[in-house]
Chain A
Amino acid sequence: NAGVTQTPKFRVLKTGQSMTLLCAQDMNHEYMYWYRQDPGMGLRLIHYSVGEGTTAKGEVPDGYNVSRLKKQNFLLGLESAAPSQTSVYFCASSPQREVTDTQYFGPGTRLTVL
């Protein structure tokens, strides 16, 4: 099993450009999450999904959209990138329907918006 993978690993955007980050998991997990990590802020939840076809807002959802068309994939979109979205983005998944279960993290995507 590859676990949780993220594409791309690095990306540089100009302000106003759009892009999509892809998260894929091969563990048949129900729950998937997108976090951003900024210095001194820890991890903050952007959006999450409790199953295929469902999404919900987390702590910092503004400026992002997500989709979960397939159970194994969770996409994070930036429609018009801003410098404030420069961050490291982590995807995670958890195996059970209860969110209290352990989360498995991807390797992260480092995004810079100029």
Chain B
Amino acid sequence: AQKVTQAQTEISVVEKEDVTLDCVYETRDTTYYLFWYKQPPSGELVFLIRRNSFDEQNEISGRYSWNFQKSTSSFNFTITASQVVDSAVYFCALTEGMNRDDKIIFGKGTRLHILP
């Protein structure tokens, strides 16, 4: 069965520091997709990235970067030079294969506090 573990329940860093949010997943499938979503204090869920299991290249988008390591089943998210606006709950998610009945499984989230 698929499972997503975000071991860090809550993290606090001072503004401008770098911070990495961990995500470890379990799956028996060779084809799967990984996601990161952001939930700011306003409550909505914002899509950040989708990565398929065949693409192990790391991705950078501005201050955000993602490190996908199949060998350790991890898909970690790093924020460089953090800002107060980055304060939010971040969710990692996984879905397996291409079966139309498959579902997305979310981790429990990591609450990130960026202190001014």
Q: How many A residues touch B, CB cutoff 8 Å?
A: 28
Q: Interface of chain B, helix or strand or loop or mixed?
A: loop
Would you call A99 and B44 a contact (CB within 8 A)?
Answer: no
Question: B95 CB to closest chain A CB, in angstroms?
Answer: 5
Q: Is A50 an interface residue when CB atoms closer than 8 A count as contact? A: yes
Would you call A42 and B98 a contact (CB within 8 A)?
Answer: no
Residues of chain B touching chain A, judged by Cβ–Cβ distance below 8 Å, are 6, 9, 32-33, 35, 37, 43-47, 50, 52, 91, 95, 97-104, 106-109
Would you call A40 and B47 a contact (CB within 8 A)?
Answer: no
Would you call A108 and B98 a contact (CB within 8 A)?
Answer: no
Question: B24 CB to closest chain A CB, in angstroms?
Answer: 14
Q: A43-B91, A50-B101 are in contact. Are A108 and B43 (CB under 8 A)?
A: yes
Would you call B47 and A103 a contact (CB within 8 A)?
Answer: yes
Would you call B35 and A102 a contact (CB within 8 A)?
Answer: yes
A19 and B84 CA atoms in complex are apart in Å by 38
Q: Which residues of B contact A33 (CB under 8 A)?
A: 104
Q: Is A12 an interface residue when CB atoms closer than 8 A count as contact? A: no
Q: Is A74 an interface residue when CB atoms closer than 8 A count as contact? A: no
- Tell me which of B97, B99, B108 contacts A41 (CB under 8 A): B108
